[in-house]
Structure 1
Amino acid sequence: MYRSVAESQTLLINTQSRKLEAENKSVIKFGFGQSPFFPPQFVMDALKEAVHHKEYTSVQGDYELRKLIADFHRQHNGIITDPDNILIAPGSKSLLYSILMSFEKADVFIASPSWVSYEPQARLAGHTTIRLKTSFEDRWRITPEMLVEASKEKKNEVSILILNYPGNPDGLSYTEEELTSLAGTAKALDILVIADEIYGLLNHSNTHKSFVQYYPEKTITTTGLSKWCGAGGWRLGVALLYDSIAPAFKKTLIGIGSETYSCAPAPVQMAARAAYGNFQLSMEYVNAQNKYLSIIGNYCATVLNENDIQTHTPEGGFYLFPDFSRFKKKLSDRGIFTSFQLCEKLLEETGVALLPAAAFGFEKEYLAARLAYVDFDDPLIENSTETVEELFPRVVKGIAAIVQWFSKM
Structure 2
Amino acid sequence: MPACVTSPDTSAPASTAADWLGRGYADDHNATAASDTLLINEQSRLLEQQGRRIIKFGFGQSPFPVFAPAVETLAEHAADKAYLPVQGMAALRDKVAAFHRHMDGTDWQAERVLIAPGSKLLLFALMKALPISEILIPAPAWVSYAPQVRLAGQHAMRLETSFDSRWLVTPEQLDRYCREHGPGLRLLILNAPGNPTGLSYEPEMQRELAAVAKRHGVLVLADEIYGPLHHRGEHRPFALDYPEGTLTTSGLSKWCGAGGWRLGVLNVPEALGDELLTRLLGIASETWSSVASPVQAAAITAYSVTPALEEYLETQRQWLSTIGRWCAQRLEAAGVRTHAPDGGFYLFPDFSTYREVLRARGITTSTELTEALLEEAGVALLPGSAFGCEPTQLTARLAYVDFDGAGLLEREPSVTLETAMADPDIGRVYEGIKAIVTWLNAR
CA contact (8 A) 1:107 1:155 kept: no
Q: Which moved more, 1:102-111 or 1:289-298?
A: 102-111
Query: Residue 251 of structure 1 is aligned with which of 271, 278, 291?
Result: 278
1:331 is the counterpart of 2:358: yes
Residue 382 of structure 1, CA deviation = 4.3
1:402 is the counterpart of 2:429: no
Residue equivalent to 1:66: 93
Code of the residue aligned with 1:44 in structure 2: it is: V
1:111 is the counterpart of 2:111: no
Query: Residue 421 of structure 2 is aligned with which of 381, 388, 393?
Result: 388
Task: Give 1:54-93 correspondences, 5 Å limit.
Answer: 54-93=81-120
Code of the residue aligned with 2:69 in structure 1: it is: F
TM-score (norm 1): 0.97
CA contact (8 A) 2:315 2:409 kept: no
CA contact (8 A) 2:316 2:409 kept: no
CA contact (8 A) 1:107 1:154 kept: no
SS at match of 1:56: coil
CA contact (8 A) 1:106 1:156 kept: no
Task: Give 1:3-402 correspondences, 5 Å limit.
Answer: 3-152=30-179, 154=181, 157-378=184-405, 379-383=407-411, 386=414, 387-389=420-422, 390-402=424-436
CA contact (8 A) 1:130 1:150 kept: no
Q: Distance in 1 between matches of 2:399 and 2:274?
A: 40
Q: Deviations over 1:308-366 (max 9, x none)?
A: 01100011000000000001111111111110010001100011000000001111111
Residue 153 of structure 1, CA deviation = 6.0
> Size of the alignment, in residue pairs?
409
| Identical amino acids, percent of aligned pairs | 49
Q: Distance in 2 between matches of 1:278 and 1:151?
A: 40
C-alpha RMSD over aligned residues: 1.4
Which sections of structure 2, spanning at least 5 residues, go unmatched? Answer: 1-23, 415-419
CA contact (8 A) 1:44 1:271 kept: yes
Residue equivalent to 2:8: none
Q: 1:161 to 1:279 in 2, by over 3 A?
A: farther
Q: Distance in 2 between matches of 1:382 and 1:125?
A: 44
Q: Deviations over 1:239-292 (max 9, x none)?
A: 011121221111000001111111111111100000112333211100010011
Q: 1:243 to 1:395 in 2, by over 3 A?
A: same
CA contact (8 A) 2:319 2:412 kept: no
Q: Deviations over 1:17-41 (max 9, x none)?
A: 0111111111000000000100121
Q: Distance in 2 between matches of 1:275 and 1:289?
A: 15
Which sections of structure 1, spanning at least 5 residues, go unmatched? Answer: none
Q: If you compute each CA radius of gyration, which structure gives the higher value, 1 or 2? A: 2
Residue 63 of structure 1, CA deviation = 0.5
